[in-house]
Amino acid sequence: MAMIKVIAERCKSCKYCVKYCPKGVLAVGRNVNSKGYEYVEPVNQEACIACCMCARICPDGAIEVYK
């Protein structure tokens, strides 16, 4: 099973990862980082297929995928 880790302080809520995830694993949460952005969180972790699209598309390197 894959695991997604979002580094909240790097996320600026651009939502690219949410848009391009083929399994709908990520969504913008309600928590806010120190920069004032509502950061992305995994909401459907068990559906992750470890394609790493989210990590590749993130312009800020805020996502890590572990197998």
pLDDT tens for the 67 residues of the chain, in order? 899 999 999 999 999 999 999 999 999 999 999 999 999 999 999 999 999 999 999 999 999 999 9
Q: Decide: helix, strand or coil at residue 40.
A: strand
List phi, psi (to 5°) of 39. -90, 160
CATH dotted code for 3-66: 3.30.70.20
Tokens of 30: 């309600």
* Per-residue pLDDT at 1: 81
List phi, psi (to 5°) of 16. -60, -45
Q: Which of 28, 52, 51, 22 is closest to 41 using CA atoms? A: 28
* Per-residue pLDDT at 44: 94
Q: Decide: helix, strand or coil at residue 44.
A: coil
Tokens of 14: 């651009």
* Per-residue pLDDT at 26: 98
Domain layout of the chain by residue ranges: 3-66
